[in-house]
Amino acid sequence: MSNWVIVELQKNSTNYEKIIEGIVRIEKKIFPKHESLARLFDDELGKRNNGLFYGVVEGQLAGYVMFSWPSSLFASITKLAVKENYRKKGLGEALLRAAIDKCRTRNVHRISLHVDPLRTSAMSLYKKLGFQVDTLISGYYSSDRDAYRMYLDFEVA
Protein backbone atom coordinates (compact mmCIF):
# COMPACT_ATOMS: atom_id res chain seq x y z
CA MET A 1 0.00 0.00 0.00
CA SER A 2 1.41 3.38 -1.00
CA ASN A 3 1.39 6.42 1.20
CA TRP A 4 2.13 8.93 -1.55
CA VAL A 5 0.18 10.96 -4.05
CA ILE A 6 1.36 11.50 -7.63
CA VAL A 7 0.40 14.89 -9.07
CA GLU A 8 0.86 16.33 -12.55
CA LEU A 9 2.37 19.80 -12.29
CA GLN A 10 0.25 22.43 -14.01
CA LYS A 11 1.79 25.81 -14.88
CA ASN A 12 -1.36 27.60 -13.65
CA SER A 13 -1.64 25.79 -10.31
CA THR A 14 -1.58 27.96 -7.20
CA ASN A 15 1.41 26.14 -5.69
CA TYR A 16 3.47 26.03 -8.91
CA GLU A 17 6.31 28.26 -7.65
CA LYS A 18 6.54 26.39 -4.35
CA ILE A 19 6.73 23.02 -6.12
CA ILE A 20 9.42 24.29 -8.54
CA GLU A 21 11.45 25.61 -5.57
CA GLY A 22 11.22 22.20 -3.90
CA ILE A 23 12.21 20.39 -7.08
CA VAL A 24 15.21 22.68 -7.52
CA ARG A 25 16.33 21.86 -3.95
CA ILE A 26 16.07 18.12 -4.69
CA GLU A 27 17.87 18.58 -8.01
CA LYS A 28 20.77 20.46 -6.41
CA LYS A 29 21.14 17.88 -3.66
CA ILE A 30 21.04 14.76 -5.85
CA PHE A 31 22.77 15.71 -9.10
CA PRO A 32 26.25 17.14 -9.71
CA LYS A 33 26.13 20.79 -10.74
CA HIS A 34 26.99 20.07 -14.39
CA GLU A 35 24.06 17.59 -14.63
CA SER A 36 21.53 19.74 -12.82
CA LEU A 37 18.60 21.35 -14.57
CA ALA A 38 17.91 23.51 -11.50
CA ARG A 39 18.21 26.81 -13.37
CA LEU A 40 16.15 25.56 -16.31
CA PHE A 41 13.08 23.93 -14.78
CA ASP A 42 10.73 26.84 -15.23
CA ASP A 43 11.88 27.39 -18.84
CA GLU A 44 11.69 23.69 -19.69
CA LEU A 45 8.22 23.31 -18.23
CA GLY A 46 7.05 26.34 -20.19
CA LYS A 47 7.65 24.44 -23.41
CA ARG A 48 4.59 22.83 -24.95
CA ASN A 49 5.78 19.24 -25.10
CA ASN A 50 7.24 18.85 -21.60
CA GLY A 51 5.61 17.47 -18.49
CA LEU A 52 6.36 16.75 -14.87
CA PHE A 53 4.83 14.60 -12.17
CA TYR A 54 5.79 14.97 -8.54
CA GLY A 55 5.25 12.75 -5.55
CA VAL A 56 4.04 13.94 -2.16
CA VAL A 57 4.47 11.89 1.00
CA GLU A 58 2.78 13.14 4.17
CA GLY A 59 2.60 16.65 2.75
CA GLN A 60 6.28 16.69 1.69
CA LEU A 61 7.62 16.85 -1.85
CA ALA A 62 9.49 13.55 -2.16
CA GLY A 63 10.42 13.17 -5.83
CA TYR A 64 9.66 14.04 -9.44
CA VAL A 65 9.93 12.84 -13.01
CA MET A 66 10.34 15.19 -15.96
CA PHE A 67 9.67 14.07 -19.52
CA SER A 68 9.14 15.40 -23.01
CA TRP A 69 7.66 14.26 -26.30
CA PRO A 70 9.51 16.26 -28.99
CA SER A 71 7.73 14.40 -31.79
CA SER A 72 4.61 12.35 -32.23
CA LEU A 73 6.69 9.18 -32.28
CA PHE A 74 9.25 9.69 -29.54
CA ALA A 75 9.39 10.69 -25.87
CA SER A 76 12.21 11.05 -23.39
CA ILE A 77 12.50 10.78 -19.62
CA THR A 78 14.66 13.79 -18.78
CA LYS A 79 14.96 13.42 -15.00
CA LEU A 80 13.80 11.06 -12.28
CA ALA A 81 14.74 11.84 -8.71
CA VAL A 82 13.53 10.71 -5.29
CA LYS A 83 14.78 12.11 -2.01
CA GLU A 84 17.05 9.62 -0.29
CA ASN A 85 14.76 8.96 2.69
CA TYR A 86 11.86 8.04 0.35
CA ARG A 87 13.78 5.59 -1.85
CA LYS A 88 13.13 1.83 -2.05
CA LYS A 89 9.44 2.36 -1.28
CA GLY A 90 7.98 2.34 -4.79
CA LEU A 91 7.71 6.10 -5.33
CA GLY A 92 10.23 6.17 -8.17
CA GLU A 93 8.36 3.37 -9.90
CA ALA A 94 5.03 5.17 -9.45
CA LEU A 95 6.48 8.40 -10.88
CA LEU A 96 8.01 6.58 -13.85
CA ARG A 97 4.76 4.71 -14.53
CA ALA A 98 2.84 8.02 -14.48
CA ALA A 99 5.23 9.48 -17.07
CA ILE A 100 5.03 6.35 -19.24
CA ASP A 101 1.22 6.39 -19.08
CA LYS A 102 1.14 10.08 -20.04
CA CYS A 103 3.45 9.41 -22.98
CA ARG A 104 1.16 6.56 -24.07
CA THR A 105 -1.72 9.05 -24.30
CA ARG A 106 0.44 10.95 -26.81
CA ASN A 107 0.66 7.77 -28.90
CA VAL A 108 4.44 7.79 -28.93
CA HIS A 109 6.14 4.62 -30.15
CA ARG A 110 9.31 4.83 -28.04
CA ILE A 111 10.47 6.38 -24.77
CA SER A 112 14.18 6.73 -24.16
CA LEU A 113 16.36 7.82 -21.27
CA HIS A 114 19.99 7.95 -20.21
CA VAL A 115 21.34 6.40 -17.01
CA ASP A 116 24.73 5.96 -15.41
CA PRO A 117 25.47 2.20 -15.49
CA LEU A 118 26.75 2.47 -11.92
CA ARG A 119 23.32 3.56 -10.66
CA THR A 120 22.22 -0.01 -10.15
CA SER A 121 18.91 0.84 -8.43
CA ALA A 122 17.90 3.05 -11.34
CA MET A 123 18.99 0.40 -13.84
CA SER A 124 16.91 -2.22 -12.02
CA LEU A 125 13.84 0.02 -12.00
CA TYR A 126 14.08 0.79 -15.71
CA LYS A 127 14.55 -2.87 -16.60
CA LYS A 128 11.63 -3.84 -14.35
CA LEU A 129 9.37 -1.54 -16.38
CA GLY A 130 10.58 -2.95 -19.69
CA PHE A 131 13.36 -0.58 -20.73
CA GLN A 132 16.20 -2.19 -22.66
CA VAL A 133 19.79 -1.05 -23.06
CA ASP A 134 20.39 0.36 -26.52
CA THR A 135 24.03 1.43 -26.34
CA LEU A 136 26.77 2.71 -24.04
CA ILE A 137 27.67 6.35 -24.61
CA SER A 138 31.22 7.06 -23.43
CA GLY A 139 31.70 10.36 -21.62
CA TYR A 140 27.97 11.23 -21.63
CA TYR A 141 27.90 12.84 -18.17
CA SER A 142 31.59 13.79 -17.96
CA SER A 143 34.89 12.57 -19.34
CA ASP A 144 34.95 9.73 -16.80
CA ARG A 145 31.20 8.96 -16.56
CA ASP A 146 29.35 7.02 -19.22
CA ALA A 147 25.66 6.43 -19.77
CA TYR A 148 23.46 3.73 -21.13
CA ARG A 149 20.83 4.91 -23.54
CA MET A 150 17.76 2.82 -22.77
CA TYR A 151 14.45 2.58 -24.54
CA LEU A 152 10.93 1.25 -24.13
CA ASP A 153 8.97 0.48 -27.29
CA PHE A 154 5.18 0.30 -27.42
CA GLU A 155 3.22 -2.04 -29.60
CA VAL A 156 1.87 -0.14 -32.57
CA ALA A 157 -1.68 -1.06 -33.54
The CATH number of residue 29's host domain is 3.40.630.30
- Is residue 46 situated within a structural domain? yes
- Is residue 150 situated within a structural domain? no
Q: What's the pLDDT score for residue 1?
A: 44
Amino acid occupying residue 138: S
Q: What's the pLDDT score for residue 27?
A: 87
Q: What's the pLDDT score for residue 6?
A: 96
Q: What's the pLDDT score for residue 56?
A: 96
- Is residue 138 situated within a structural domain? no
- Is residue 106 situated within a structural domain? yes
DSSP 13: S
- Is residue 32 situated within a structural domain? yes
Q: Which of 68, 75, 4, 66 is nearest to 36 (CA)?
A: 66
- Is residue 127 situated within a structural domain? no
Cβ 107 vs Cβ 75: under 8 Å: no
pLDDT along the chain (157 residues), means of 10: 84 87 89 71 76 94 94 90 94 97 90 95 96 95 93 82
Q: What's the pLDDT score for residue 138?
A: 95
The total number of structural domains in the chain stands at 1
Q: Which of 71, 99, 91 is nearest to 26 (CA)?
A: 91
Rounded CA gap, 62 and 31, in Å? Answer: 15
- Cα angle 76, 81, 87; round to 5: 130
Rounded CA gap, 57 and 102, in Å? Answer: 21
- Is residue 100 situated within a structural domain? yes
Domain of residue 37, residue span: 4-112
- Is residue 47 situated within a structural domain? yes
